[in-house]
C-alpha cells in the first residue's frame, strides 16, 4: 500500500508477499490484495443484479401461475420444469454462448463524486452477460416459491372479497397477492445472491466471466501454482466462502425476523 | 306489488372432482323482488353458499355453472347488450354476457359479505384503504362513461408495472378515502377517521363485519348477498349486525339474499324464504307460508329441531340421518330426502315435481313468487299403507 491507496500493479512479479504487496502478485504482476478487494465488487454486484433479474422474471411468472391456475399454471410451470431439468452450470454455459458478450461500463462512484485519486479506476466493466445469464438460469426458483404462495393466497377469502367489489385480476395480483407473498421471496432472494455468486465465480473459473476481475478467475489462475504458491488460489477461494456464508447468515436472520411463526414454535 | 329484481331459473352448479361429478346446486329456481330480503336456509353442504357464489360468478375450479339462467333486471344494461338471447324485456341473463361486463356488475349490482370477517380482509392493507379500493374501482369505472366496458381497462399491466417501479403511487384517491370514512361511519364504527388507518388485526370481529358491510355498500348494490354474516360472531354482536343490515336495507333500498342455517335469523329478517336440501330448493314461500303452512317434511323437521324458548324442557326433535352424498353417481333420480323422511312413500323413489304447495298444480314456468314445494305430498296425502319400508329404500340405494 502507498499513500493510503492500493498500489495495483507492481513493476516486477512478486509471488510471495512483500510489505508493499502483502499477498504477492499474480503472474502478470497485479497485486493480489487489490484483486481480492475489487473482486468483491464484481461478485456482489453480479449476485445482487442477477437476483433482481431472476426476481423480475420469476415472481410475475410464479404469481400469475399460482393465481390464475389451470392452463396458465400448467404452461408456465412446465416451462419452469424444463428449465430445472438442466444442470444450472451447463445451462449457464450454453446461455453465455447464446447471448454473446455484453459488457456494461459502470462508473465508480468516487469518480462521479469527484473524489478521485489518480491511481483509482474511473470506471469498471460489469460482465453484463454473466449478470443476465445467472438471472435467467435462476428465475425458476423464484417462480416456484411465488407460485406456492400465490396458490394459497388465491384461496383466501379476502381475494374473493376483493373480486366481489369489482377489483380486476391485475389489481388483485399487484396489491393483494404480491404484498402477502413478499416474505418468502425476500428470504429466497438473499440466499439466491449467494447462489448466484457461486454460479458466476464457477463461470469465471471455467473462463466465461466477461471480466478478468473476478475471484473465480483468480482461483483458476492460481490453480497452476498450487504446489509452489498455494495462497494464490486459496485466498480468493476463502473470500468466496466467507461472502457466501455471510450472505446465507443474513438470509437466515431475515427469515427469523420476518416469520413470527418460527419464533413462536420454538418458544412455545 | 314490487318489481322483480332477479329471476334465477334452473341454476345448476357442478364440481368435477376426481371422485366424480358433484351436483352442488341441482336446478334451482327462485325470484328476488326489489327491496325484499330473501332468506336461504338449509343444513351445511346443502348448496347455499355455492348458490351465492354462482350469482357473484365466484365459482372456482373444479366447479362450473353448468345450466340455467340468472335473469337480472337492469334496463340500462339491457340497452347495451347486443346478444338478443341474453335479453328478455328489462331482464338480462348474466350467464350469457361477456366476462368483463359480468365482472363490472360486481359492486354496483351485486355485492357480497362473507362468513368470516377476519379472513376476508387483506392483513397487509389498512381497513380504510380496502374500503377505499372498492369506492375507487366504482368511481373510476363510472367516470369512464360506458361503465360496463371500462372495468378491465382500469387497472392493467401498465398500472401494475408503474406501481412496481414507483411503490409510493396510490391507487386510492383522497376523495375515495373520505368516502370510505363516511361509509365506516354509516355502519356505526366510532371514530371512523382513526379506525380507517388501522389494520384488520386491530379490529374486533364485529367491527370487521361492519367494515365489510361498508365495503359492500361502496358500489351501492342492488342486491347484497349476505353469506352467513353472523356465523363467526357472538350472539350480542350478531343482533347488532342484523339490525344494521335491516336498517341499511331500508335506507339504501336494496334487496338482500340472506344465507344462514339459523332459523331465528331468518324469521327476524326475511320477507320470503327458500329451504335448500342436497342442492335443491325443496320449499319456498313467504315467511308465514314456511313457518306456519309448510308442506315439505324437511321444512317441518328443520323447524322442530329448534329449541323452544317457551318450553325449555321440551325434547329436541332432530332429523335422523345425514344428507346424502352429492356425487352424481350415487344420487340417482329420486327424492333425496326420502331416506330420512318420516312420510316417505313408494312414489318418493321417483323425482318429485315442483308443485304449488296448496293446490298441487305443477309449475311449468316456475313463477316462484308463490308458495311452491318439490314434494309429492300436496297431490298425494300421506298414506301409511304405501309407506316406503326401510329395506326397500336400502335396496334402491344398493342397486344404483
pLDDT the model gives residue A264:
44
Min distance B311 CA to chain A CA atoms (Å): 40
Q: Longest Cα pair distance anywhere in chain B, in angstroms?
A: 78
Is B155 in contact with A171 (Cβ distance < 8 A)? Answer: yes
Task: Show residues of chain A in contact with B122, CB under 8 Å.
Answer: 158, 162, 176, 179-180
Min distance A218 CA to chain B CA atoms (Å): 37
CA–CA dist A130, A51 (Å, integer): 12
User: What pLDDT digit, counting tens, does each position of B155-192 carry?
Assistant: 777 777 887 787 777 788 888 888 899 889 888 888 88
Helix (H, G, I), strand (E, B) or coil at B55: helix
pLDDT the model gives residue A265:
45
**Alpha carbon of residue B207 to chain centroid:** 22
Question: Span B324-334, mean pLDDT?
Answer: 74
Is A156 in contact with B119 (Cβ distance < 8 A)? Answer: yes
| Predicted ipTM beyond 0.90 | no
What average pLDDT does the structure give for chain B? 82
Question: Span B369-378, mean pLDDT?
Answer: 82
C-alpha cell at A54: 431472476
pLDDT the model gives residue B148:
46
Residue with cell 377469502: A157
Count of A–B CB contacts within 8 Å?
Answer: 103
Task: Show residues of chain A in contact with B214, CB under 8 Å.
Answer: none
Name the packing angle between helices A215-222 and A32-68 (round to 10°).
130
The torsion angles phi and psi of A33, rounded to 5 degrees, stand at -60, -45
Instruction: Name every residue in A having a CB less than 8 A away from some CB of B.
Output: 69-70, 155-158, 160-168, 170-171, 173-176, 179-180
pLDDT the model gives residue B150:
45
- Give the residue, A23 or B43, on which the prediction is more confident: B43
pLDDT the model gives residue A64:
92
* CA-closest candidate to residue B70, choices B109, B17, B114: B109
CA–CA dist B64, B53 (Å, integer): 11
User: What pLDDT digit, counting tens, does each position of B381-392 carry?
Assistant: 777 777 766 544
The torsion angles phi and psi of B15, rounded to 5 degrees, stand at -110, 125
Query: Which of the four pLDDT bands, split at 50, 70 and 90, describes residue B256?
Result: very high
| pLDDT less than 50: residues of chain A | 1-6, 262-268
C-alpha cell at B276: 335448500
pLDDT the model gives residue B363:
74
Find the residue in B nearest to A164 (Cα): B106
Q: Which residues contact A236 (CB under 8 A, 6 or more apart)?
A: A35, A36, A39, A215, A216, A218, A219, A222
Task: Show residues of chain B in contact with A167, CB under 8 Å.
Answer: 133-134, 137, 155
Is A166 in contact with B134 (Cβ distance < 8 A)? Answer: yes
Find the residue in B nearest to A161 (Cα): B120
**C-alpha Rg value of chain B to the nearest Å:** 23
Is the pTM above the cut of 0.80?
no
Is A166 in contact with B171 (Cβ distance < 8 A)? Answer: no
Is A179 in contact with B125 (Cβ distance < 8 A)? Answer: yes
C-alpha cell at B164: 412496481
CA angle B278–B284–B285, rounded 5-degree value: 170
Is A180 in contact with B122 (Cβ distance < 8 A)? Answer: yes
User: Which of B134, B152, B164 shows the shortest C-beta gap to A168?
Assistant: B152
Q: Is pLDDT above 80 for B197? A: yes
Neighbours of B330 (CB within 10 A): 13
The stretches of chain B forming alpha helices (DSSP H) are: 48-56, 75-80, 99-104, 127-143, 147-154, 157-165, 174-186, 192-195, 205-217, 235-252, 263-269, 287-292, 297-304, 328-331, 390-399
* CA-closest candidate to residue A199, choices A216, A187, A213, A212: A216
CA–CA dist B205, B202 (Å, integer): 10
pLDDT the model gives residue A17:
63
Is A165 in contact with B111 (Cβ distance < 8 A)? Answer: yes
User: What pLDDT digit, counting tens, does each position of B53-95 carry?
Assistant: 898 888 887 888 888 888 888 888 888 777 677 788 788 888 8
Task: Show residues of chain B in contact with A173, CB under 8 Å.
Answer: 160
Strand runs labelled E in A88-192: 103-107, 123-127
User: Which of B114, B141, B152 shows the shortest C-beta gap to A161?
Assistant: B114
CA–CA dist A128, A51 (Å, integer): 13
User: Which of A158, A165, A166 shows the shortest C-beta gap to B119?
Assistant: A158
Interface test with A, best of B120, B208, B211 (most A CBs within 10 A): B120
Assign domain A41-258 to a CATH class.
Answer: mainly alpha
Min distance A203 CA to chain B CA atoms (Å): 31
Amino acid at each position: 500500500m502507498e499513500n493510503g491507496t492500493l498500489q495495483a500493479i507492481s513493476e516486477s512479479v512478486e509471488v510471495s508477499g512483500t510489505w508493499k504487496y502483502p499477498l504477492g502478485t499474480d503472474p502478470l504482476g497485479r497485486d493480489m490484495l487489490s484483486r481480492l478487494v475489487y473482486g468483491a465488487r464484481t461478485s456482489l454486484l453480479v449476485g445482487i443484479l442477477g437476483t433482481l433479474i431472476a426476481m423480475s422474471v420469476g415472481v410475475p411468472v410464479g404469481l400469475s401461475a399460482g393465481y390464475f391456475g389451470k392452463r396458465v399454471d400448467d404452461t408456465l410451470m412446465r416451462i419452469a420444469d424444463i428449465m430445472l431439468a438442466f444442470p444450472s452450470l451447463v445451462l449457464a454455459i450454453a446461455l453465455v454462448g447464446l447471448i454473446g458478450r455484453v459488457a456494461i461500463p459502470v462508473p465508480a462512484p468516487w469518480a462521479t463524486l469527484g473524489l478521485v485519486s489518480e491511481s483509482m479506476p474511473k470506471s469498471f466493466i460489469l460482465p453484463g452477460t454473466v449478470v443476465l445469464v445467472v438471472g435467467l438460469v435462476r428465475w425458476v426458483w423464484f417462480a416456484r416459491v411465488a407460485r406456492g404462495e400465490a396458490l394459497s393466497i388465491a384461496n383466501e377469502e379476502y381475494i374473493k372479497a376483493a373480486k366481489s367489489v369489482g377489483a380486476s385480476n391485475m389489481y388483485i395480483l399487484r396489491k393483494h397477492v404480491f404484498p402477502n407473498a413478499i416474505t418468502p421471496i425476500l428470504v429466497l432472494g438473499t440466499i439466491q445472491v449467494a447462489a448466484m455468486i457461486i454460479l458466476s465465480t464457477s463461470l469465471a473459473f471455467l473462463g466465461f466471466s466477461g471480466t478478468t476481475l473476478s475471484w473465480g478467475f483468480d482461483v483458476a489462475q492460481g490453480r497452476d501454482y498450487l504446489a509452489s504458491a498455494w495462497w494464490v488460489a486459496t485466498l480468493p477461494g476463502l473470500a468466496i466462502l466467507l461472502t457466501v456464508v455471510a450472505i446465507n447468515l443474513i438470509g437466515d436472520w431475515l427469515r427469523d425476523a420476518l416469520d413470527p411463526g418460527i419464533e413462536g414454535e420454538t418458544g412455545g | 306489488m314490487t318489481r322483480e329484481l332477479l329471476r334465477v331459473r334452473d341454476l345448476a352448479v357442478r364440481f368435477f372432482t376426481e371422485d366424480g361429478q358433484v351436483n352442488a346446486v341441482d336446478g334451482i329456481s327462485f325470484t328476488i323482488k326489489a327491496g325484499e330480503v330473501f332468506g336461504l336456509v338449509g343444513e351445511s353442504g346443502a348448496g347455499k353458499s355455492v348458490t351465492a357464489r354462482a350469482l357473484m360468478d365466484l365459482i372456482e375450479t373444479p366447479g362450473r355453472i353448468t345450466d340455467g339462467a340468472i335473469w337480472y333486471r337492469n334496463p340500462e344494461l339491457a340497452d347495451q347488450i347486443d346478444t338478443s338471447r341474453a335479453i328478455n324485456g328489462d331482464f338480462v341473463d348474466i350467464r350469457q354476457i361477456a366476462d368483463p361486463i359480468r365482472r363490472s356488475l360486481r359492486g354496483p349490482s351485486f355485492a357480497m359479505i362473507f362468513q368470516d370477517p377476519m379472513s376476508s380482509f387483506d392483513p397487509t392493507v389498512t381497513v380504510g384503504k380496502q374500503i377505499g379500493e372498492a369506492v375507487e374501482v366504482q368511481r373510476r369505472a363510472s367516470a369512464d362513461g360506458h361503465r360496463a366496458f371500462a372495468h378491465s381497462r382500469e387497472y392493467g399491466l401498465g398500472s401494475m408495472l408503474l406501481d412496481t417501479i414507483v411503490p409510493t403511487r396510490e391507487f386510492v384517491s383522497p376523495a375515495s378515502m373520505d368516502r370510505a370514512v363516511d361509509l365506516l361511519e354509516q355502519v356505526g364504527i366510532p371514530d371512523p377517521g382513526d379506525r380507517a388507518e388501522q389494520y384488520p388485526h386491530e379490529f374486533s370481529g364485529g367491527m370487521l363485519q361492519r367494515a365489510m358491510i361498508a365495503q359492500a355498500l361502496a358500489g351501492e348494490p342492488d342486491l347484497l348477498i349476505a353469506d352467513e354474516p353472523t356465523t363467526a360472531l357472538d350472539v350480542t354482536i350478531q343482533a347488532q349486525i342484523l339490525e344494521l343490515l335491516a336498517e341499511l336495507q331500508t335506507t339504501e333500498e336494496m334487496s338482500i339474499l340472506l344465507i344462514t342455517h339459523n332459523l331465528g335469523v331468518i324469521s327476524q329478517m326475511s320477507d320470503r324464504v327458500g329451504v335448500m336440501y342436497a342442492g335443491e330448493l325443496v320449499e319456498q314461500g313467504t315467511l308465514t307460508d314456511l313457518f306456519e303452512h309448510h308442506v315439505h317434511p324437511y321444512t317441518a323437521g328443520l323447524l322442530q329441531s329448534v329449541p323452544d324458548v317457551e318450553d325449555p324442557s321440551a325434547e329436541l326433535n332432530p332429523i335422523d340421518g345425514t344428507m346424502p352424498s352429492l356425487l352424481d353417481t350415487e344420487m340417482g333420480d329420486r327424492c333425496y330426502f326420502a331416506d330420512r323422511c318420516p312420510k316417505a312413500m313408494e312414489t318418493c323413489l321417483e323425482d318429485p315435481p315442483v308443485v304449488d304447495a296448496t293446490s298441487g298444480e305443477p309449475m311449468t314456468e316456475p313463477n316462484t313468487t308463490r308458495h311452491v314445494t318439490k314434494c309429492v305430498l300436496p297431490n298425494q296425502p300421506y298414506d301409511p299403507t304405501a309407506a316406503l319400508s326401510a329395506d326397500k329404500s336400502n335396496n334402491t340405494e344398493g342397486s344404483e
